[in-house]
Structure 1
Amino acid sequence: MFLPDVRTFLAVASAGSLSAAARQLDVVPMQVSRRIAALEEDLGVRLFHRTTRSLTLTAEGEAFVPFASAMVDAESGARAELSPSQGKASGVLRLTAPSGFGQSVVLPMLASLLEANPELRIDLDLSDRQVDIVGQGLDVALRIAPLEDSELVAKKIAPNPRLVCAAPAYLKKHGRPSTVADLDNHACIRLSAVRRWPLVVDGALIRKRVDACFTTTSVEAARTAAVQGLGLAQLTYWDVFRQLADNSLVQIHLEDAAMEDLSVWAVMPSRRYVPNRVSVFLGALQSQIAELGEGHRR
């Protein structure tokens, strides 16, 4: 199997057309067509449905995407391993991150990362849903929810505990809750995906029903509503660390309950052949988190 043909296949699958892939690869469309035909002949299957107006992956083509990505990544990893002096990341880094964490931590670091790695391109999906990273050809998924058992590889990046917080103006008007029972007397802001607030009581995780004055699918909307004084919010540390630092939000500690310990995880399709672009990104992310944490402790 000729690796340039495999790269061409991935470019066409990503771009959605032969002409767009040709522009991306800086070749003529006829060359792209010939490489795809050669790869299909080599594999003995049809990889794309072609009409005069559209081009889509066949079932075999969709199944081949993760294998093709692994082959290209293996070559990139080998080159990086055998040529450590290069040290730069290149290619397209495809990743997904929760919207709140992505907005507050990932986006602010991308300018310096791209400046330090001019051959790197980033395709970032900000979403609170868990996506199929293998099926969608992603390099890495940043996740905060408790991880389910799977064949994917997970690397812990940083602690990210849940916490309850509110605006000073809200607490001045309605008082500060000190126990789990006190939550019943307060307006609460709830994420749609978290129907009850997780709390640790006597070492056991419970799910506390709260009176939601505002429910939203967006972490950013929940944070904004809390800053505006709508009610108490239960979010994670890295969602609100800036607001805690500038005192637009205040953390609330309950006497009879602790918060659920969560972490930021990097989930990858495989431990083998981790592309250099992924290693460079995760190293930069850990440095960013350490710098932000140190800066807000001063």
Structure 2
Amino acid sequence: MIDLADLAVLVEAVQQGSLSAAGRRLGLTPVAASRRLAALEAELGVRLVHRTTRSLSLTPEGEAFLPHAEAMLDHAEEGRAAAAPGAADVSGVLRIAASVPFGRKVVTPMLAGFLRAHPRLRAELRLSDALVDVAAQGVDVALRFGELRDNGLVARRLADNPRSLYASPGYLAEHGSPTTLDDLRRHACLTVPGSTHWAFERHGRAVRQAVGGRFVADSVDALHQASLDGLGIVLLSEWNVRDDVDAGRLAPIGLVDAAVPDQGIWAVLPTRRFLPRRTRLFLDAFAAHLAAAPAPEP
């Protein structure tokens, strides 16, 4: 009889590109993952993959069997969900990747209630302003902003992400407030290293404006703090500065000839098939959490 755990190793190994990566996602050692794949091949009586120390590829028999393996895992997952639909039946580890400020200000508060609703579930939140390799690092869902450059990724748009220019009242009192794109040339703009332009929309078309300043940082939190300290103008998401705007520590800047485009908040997934129920529940709950957030001031 085919073991579903053996099937999971095959599917994950193909998706991740190696048995060791599959083992990390499934909580197995490389040796245990290799044994499970060998057991599946022995059960079927065929060799499913060619594997070396650095690569893994399907045999013709493996290519023919893979869709059936994925379907069996999908059906098993749906069957478990139908038989045990209660929240308490969701278990395992949910691994989420997000940027530092988004994870701290938006994801963590949502996870507190989500974990209370699912007492058998554990969450592992990995925060970094750098892009995470979802497949290689065993992440279930990565939360990102803007257009996705890798068309091979599986992505789901969760919500809008309104953004704007902001500066401290002290900076604006000393330097004035820009009203046009060209005005930004004469202001201190807070950017990441290597960034020389900001993207805007004008009459439905994308435009780029050259910007520069005396302070750059590879941390969104650092740029945010620099704007609070009066070092210049920053481009940030509304969710990141809502409290500062309400308290008068930052002021939004509107331009008469252009607007900052909405990047969207996206969930990036390692695969569309065999999506664990805990991941589906998180995505639905997080989208609802974002929808319930206070609307930005006009």
- TM-score, normalised to structure 2, is 0.76
Change (3 A) 1:33 1:196: closer
Q: Please give the secondary structure, in 1, of the residue aligned with 2:39.
A: helix
Q: 1:59 maps to which residue? A: 55
Alignment of 1:191-206 (within 5 A): 191-192=192-193, 194-206=195-207
Q: Residue 134 of structure 2 aligns to a residue in which SS?
A: coil
Alignment CA distance shift 1:139-1:16 (3 Å)? closer
**What's the secondary structure of 2:215's corresponding residue?**
strand
Once the 2 structures are TM-superposed, how far is the Cα of residue 228 of structure 1 from its aligned partner?
A: 1.3
The residue identity in structure 2 corresponding to 1:225 is A
Which amino acid in structure 2 is aligned with residue 60 of structure 1?
L
CA contact (8 A) 1:193 1:217 kept: no
* Gap runs ≥5 in structure 2: 13-18
Give 1:167 deviation, angstroms.
Answer: 1.1
Higher mean C-alpha deviation, range 137-146 or range 72-81: 72-81
Taking a change above 3 Å as real, the CA distance of residues 8 and 121 of structure 1, as seen in their structure-2 partners, is farther
User: Identity rate of aligned residues, in percent?
Assistant: 38
- Give the equivalent residue in structure 2 for 1:241: 242
Partner SS state of residue 190, structure 1: coil
2:100 corresponds to: 99
2:145 maps to a residue whose letter is I
Alignment partners' CA distance in 1, 2:201 and 2:290: 26
Distance 1:7 1:153 in 2: 19
Question: Does residue 126 of structure 1 match 2:127?
Answer: yes
The 5-angstrom pairing of residues 70-219 of structure 1 reads: 75-86=76-87, 88-148=89-149, 150-192=151-193, 194-219=195-220
Counterpart of 1:268, as a letter, is L
SS class of match (2:230): coil
Q: Which residue of 2 aligns with 1:52?
A: none
TM superposition shift of 1:144: 0.4
Instruction: Give the total of aligned pairs.
Output: 280
- Measured in 2, the distance between the counterparts of 1:262 and 1:31 equals 42
Q: Which runs of 4+ in 1 moved over 4 A?
A: 5-10, 12-17, 30-37, 39-49, 66-74
Aligned-residue offset at 1:86: 4.8
Cα pair 1:77 1:275 within 8 Å, conserved:
no
Instruction: For residues 214-259 of structure 1, give each alpha carbon's deviation from its aligned partner in whole angstroms, at most 9, with x where no partner exists.
Output: 1111111111111111110012223323322332211100111111
User: In structure 2, do the counterparts of structure 1 residues 168 and 259 end up closer, same or farther at CA, with 3 Å as the change threshold?
Assistant: same
Going from structure 1 to structure 2, the CA distance change for 1:194 and 1:89 (only over 3 Å counts) comes to farther
**What SS does the aligned partner of 2:80 have?**
helix
Root mean square deviation of aligned Cα: 3.8
Q: Cα deviations across residues 188-220 of structure 1 (Å, max 9, x unaligned)?
A: 100236431112234321221112221111111
Instruction: Tell whether the 8 Å contact from 2:163 to 2:237 is kept in structure 1 after alignment.
Output: yes
In structure 2, what is the Cα distance between the partners aligned to 1:150 and 1:15?
22
Contact 2:23 2:33 in 1 (8 A): no
DSSP-derived class of the 1:191 partner: coil
Aligned to 2:275: 274
Structure 1 residues 165, 273: closer, same or farther in 2, change over 3 A?
same
Aligned to 2:4: 3
